[in-house]
Structure 1
Amino acid sequence: MSITQVLTNPNAFFAEKTRTEVEMKTPILIILVIAVLGAINAAIMTQKIMEILPPEAAAFAGIGAIAGAIGAFISSFIMWIIYSGVFYAISSILGGEGTFKRVLEVIAYGFIPSIASGIIGIIVMVTSFSVENFDMQNPELLEQAIVNDPTMRMSVLIGIIFTLWSANIWIFGLVHARNMSVKNAAISVLVPVGLYILYTARHFIGA
């Protein structure tokens, strides 16, 4: 069983995967890679913003970049647990059976598309994202400028596409991890993911 099969045929992958004991080394490694990519992305963005601040504030650019990287790193693991918890809770209401640990395992595999998304995000951040025209004196205007930046919008759009890919994987993960129908697994996944995408699209793309 190849891990790449989770991207091309998640139904068959999880059908075989859930016949074995829960194994957490690979899931943790997947989230760790995503966390590292997220930390790099956050550090680059924070560094770019801090570099055009007034000299007295720019002195803290390194600290800001480190803080941003640590926050992004930790948030990847937190989001893994939150996603798993929400899917577990909704699937429980719909009659799902199976352990939370198994759900954690299959949800981690569903984050694999985020690795590609993270790499693309870093490339976009390094090559395209610019803060030269941002107003550093007004935090509200700065936030709005970031939201309206075409590069950021494109990055968010790419993130939404990869999230939908992950959602497809999560659906089949829940089918086998929670012994559910495809319909109920789809409800368990698409309701929270749909709300997240609508919020993101409204906040960035529709800004």
Structure 2
Amino acid sequence: MNLINLFIHPKKYFTEINEKEKFSLLAPIVILVIIGVLTGLTAGNTVSSMGLPEEQMGSIQGLAIGFGIFSGIIGLAIALVLKTGIFHFVLKKMNGTASFKSAIYVVGISFFPKIFQGIINLLFQKPLDLNTIYEFNIVNFLAGIINIFNIWQIALTIIGLSIIYGVSYRKTAIPVIGFEVVAAGFTLVTTLITANSMAGITPTGIE
């Protein structure tokens, strides 16, 4: 399968795999693992910017990387199954004809743009500022949600699911974009709760 088409002609890519019925889950699994590794390495870099004592840095950084990789992969796997389950249920109600396995493949392969996002985050990571870590910044929040990588992922998901289920782009966009809106709302609420609960707490104690 020509993966280049996933970049330049995603409609052709998903049409070809749908016609050949080749839905190996190996590619989505590899993508999730790569993203998980990048998440762990980013966590390790974050720890290294905290100014910890040299004798503690190695062990804590190692733990951060290991936990980041593990939690990243597990979190992505849960998100993949949850999203696919919702999309499959809704699109079946719209008379879609695809299987759950094929939907898992499409949703999983659509995480591919996140690899590029992870690489950029790793290479251009800003040092962690403990004084502002719990401050809510609407610009940063929106930038984390509305960016080229998320839009790219959503577009791939809509195109792929539309083709394999035989449902129009417009109808397919309903559960896909709806899920992202709900997820963004949940993230906003939890972020605000965390920011409010941590108000007044400093790295050295409570004011």
TM, length-normalised to structure 1? 0.75
Higher deviation after alignment, 162-171 or 77-86: 77-86
**How many Å apart are 1:105 and its aligned residue?**
0.7
Quick one: structure 1 residues 197 and 114, their matched pair in 2 at CA, closer, same or farther if it must change by over 3 Å? same
Counterpart for residue 10 of structure 2: 10
Counterpart for residue 60 of structure 2: 61
Q: Distance in 1 between matches of 2:133 and 2:90?
A: 34
Counterpart for residue 172 of structure 1: 159
Structure number having the greater helix percentage = 1
1:86 lines up with 2:72 in the alignment: no
Counterpart for residue 139 of structure 1: none
Aligned partner (choices 166, 169, 172) of residue 185 of structure 1: 172
Counterpart for residue 101 of structure 2: 101
**How many Å apart are 1:187 and its aligned residue?**
0.9
**How many Å apart are 1:111 and its aligned residue?**
0.9
Q: Distance in 1 between matches of 2:35 and 2:18?
A: 23
1:129 lines up with 2:154 in the alignment: no
Counterpart for residue 134 of structure 2: 144
Q: Distance in 1 between matches of 2:15 and 2:42?
A: 35
Structure 2 residue runs without a partner (length 5+): 196-207
1:195 lines up with 2:182 in the alignment: yes
- Indicate conservation of the 8 Å contact 2:110/2:156, yes or no: yes
Q: Distance in 2 between matches of 1:47 and 1:70?
A: 19
Aligned length, in residue pairs:
189
TM, length-normalised to structure 2? 0.75
Structure 1 residue runs without a partner (length 5+): 136-141
Higher deviation after alignment, 15-24 or 163-172: 15-24
- Indicate conservation of the 8 Å contact 2:80/2:108, yes or no: yes
Whichever residue aligns with residue 46 of structure 2, its letter is M
Quick one: structure 1 residues 114 and 89, their matched pair in 2 at CA, closer, same or farther if it must change by over 3 Å? same
**How many Å apart are 1:14 and its aligned residue?**
0.7
Q: Distance in 2 between matches of 1:46 and 1:123?
A: 15
- Indicate conservation of the 8 Å contact 1:38/1:118, yes or no: yes
**How many Å apart are 1:15 and its aligned residue?**
0.9
Secondary structure of 1:18's counterpart equals helix
